[in-house]
């Protein structure tokens, strides 16, 4: 009996040792699994107020998380300029849409002192200008709309067609729908009207807000009526409506910056992707991916139109982009990373 007890004791210690070894392996393996992801930092993306940057953040975020194995990014909300300053200070890692002309001095200072890095454009130069519905020029056979201004191509043609845009409140003039009060472009448009001699034929109408400006365009378009006003791209409206930008004299910096003139085309806005410079050491693979990140105005307009039509969130719109434009985003990534993103996309379908 004593020998049996001794043997049992030895076997018990041996068994306990095996169990401890297995537990240790599981703990180490578990730590190793989480370390593989946790030893990569949580990246912070600038989540400012407009829809397109929030969608781009989540496109990039999905790829960063599921393709490159980083933790889910943090989307830090804030105003444009303070957030750009945060990029320079390192509290923000990635800024997917830097509209550099809007804060030129700060942008150039941060580039010059080396605190941020410009990775290139997110999409081609974003246009802004004066638009009319294309059916006014070309008609729309599906809607039974005849072209009422077939020769309308430039701002110089507007006096010929002013009556089409008749302002109900000022019936002896046409109506130009201006951007909201407080926007710098609102004053620029008013100067342009005078420079082009259009103040004799057109009343500059204040729409009051960007929502009211958009609503005036959509309302006229739905009714097949004429409309003239300022707008920009990319936006959901340009994804849904067929609008034509009127030609102006080519952009000239001296003319445009002359506050008594402004008589030329708007400069196309530069829209860049930027990172804090420490990202090159912190997440070099993400920097390499973002250097290849590039979209088109058409894609952006389409995604924003989808977002508006479906009342979709930025996350939903990002998934819509990834599922709709797979050839596009796969061209940004190594094959193994693209395969991981593809697998993750199928799991959320």
Looking at the 3D structure of the chain, how many domains does it have? 2
Average pLDDT, the chain: 88
Q: Are residues 202 and 320 in the same domain?
A: no
Position 180 scores a pLDDT of: 87
Asked which of 198, 232, 257 is the last residue of a domain, the reply is 257
> Do 45 and 162 reside in the same domain of the chain?
no
Which structure tokens are listed for 111? 């580039």
DSSP-H helix ranges across 150-283 = 184-195, 210-223, 236-240, 253-257, 279-282
Question: What integer pLDDT is reported at residue 22 of this predicted model?
Answer: 44
Same domain, 247 and 280: no
Q: Does residue 33 surpass a pLDDT of 50?
A: no
What is the arithmetic mean of pLDDT over 207-223?
93
321 is a domain residue? yes
Phi-psi region at 126: left, alpha or beta (left = phi > 0; alpha = psi -120 to 50):
beta
Contact between 317 and 59 under an 8 Å Cβ cutoff? The reply is no
307 with 276, same domain? Answer: yes
Q: Judge if 308 and 332 occupy the same domain.
A: yes
What are the pLDDT digits (tens) for 245-285? 999 999 999 999 999 999 999 998 889 999 999 999 999 99
DSSP 177-208: EEPPTT-HHHHHHHHHHHHTTGGGTEEEEE-S
Higher pLDDT, 348 or 324: 324
Q: What is the pLDDT of residue 182?
A: 80
Torsions phi, psi for 113 (to 5 deg) = -85, 0
Q: pLDDT of 44-57, one tens digit each?
A: 999 987 889 999 99
Query: Each residue of 68-113: pLDDT tens digit?
Result: 999 999 999 988 888 999 999 999 999 999 988 778 889 999 999 9
Q: What does the pLDDT read at residue 318?
A: 97
Q: Is the domain of 132 the same as that of 236? A: yes
Same domain flag for 147 and 221: yes
At residue 26 the predicted structure's pLDDT band, cuts being 50, 70 and 90, is very low
Tell me whether residue 1 is in a domain.
Answer: no
Q: Which of 257, 288, 315 is the last residue of a domain?
A: 257
Statement to judge: residues 132 and 244 lie in one domain: yes
CATH number at residue 67: 3.40.190.10
What mean pLDDT comes out for the span 135-153?
97
What is the reported pTM?
A: 0.76
Residue 285 included in any domain: yes
- What local confidence, expressed as pLDDT, does residue 65 receive? 97
């Amino acid at each position: 009996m004593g020998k049996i007890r001794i043997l049992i004791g030895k076997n018990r210690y041996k068994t306990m040792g095996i169990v401890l070894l297995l537990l240790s392996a599981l703990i180490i393996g578990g730590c190793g699994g989480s370390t593989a992801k946790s030893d990569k930092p949580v990246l912070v993306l600038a989540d400012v107020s407009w829809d397109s940057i929030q969608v781009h953040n989540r496109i990039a975020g999905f790829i960063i998380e599921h393709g490159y194995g980083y933790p889910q990014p943090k989307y830090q909300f804030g105003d444009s300029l303070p957030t750009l300053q945060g990029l320079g200070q390192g509290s923000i890692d990635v800024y997917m849409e830097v509209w550099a002309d809007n804060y030129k001095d700060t942008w150039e200072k941060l580039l010059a002192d080396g605190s941020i890095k410009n990775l290139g454009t997110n999409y081609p130069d974003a246009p802004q200008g004066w638009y009319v519905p294309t059916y006014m020029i070309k008609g729309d056979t599906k809607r039974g709309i005849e072209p009422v201004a077939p020769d309308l191509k430039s701002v110089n043609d507007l006096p010929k067609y002013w009556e089409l845009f008749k302002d109900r409140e000022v019936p002896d003039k046409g109506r130009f729908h201006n951007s909201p009060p407080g926007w710098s472009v609102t004053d620029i448009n008013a100067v342009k009207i005078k420079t082009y001699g259009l103040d004799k034929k057109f009343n500059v109408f204040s729409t009051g807000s960007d929502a009211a400006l958009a609503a005036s365009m959509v309302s006229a378009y739905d009714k097949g009526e004429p409309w003239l006003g300022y707008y920009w791209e990319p936006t959901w409206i340009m994804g849904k409506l067929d609008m034509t930008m009127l030609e102006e004299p080519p952009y000239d910096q001296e003319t445009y910056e002359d506050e008594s003139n402004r008589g030329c085309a708007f400069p196309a806005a530069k829209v860049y992707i930027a990172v804090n410079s420490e990202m090159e050491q912190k997440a070099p693979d993400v920097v390499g991916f973002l250097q290849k990140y590039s979209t088109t105005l058409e894609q952006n307009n389409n995604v924003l139109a989808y977002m508006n039509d479906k009342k979709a969130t930025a996350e939903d719109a990002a998934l819509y982009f990834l599922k709709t434009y797979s050839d596009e985003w796969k061209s940004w990534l190594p094959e193994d990373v693209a395969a991981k993103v593809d697998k993750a996309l199928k799991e959320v379908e």
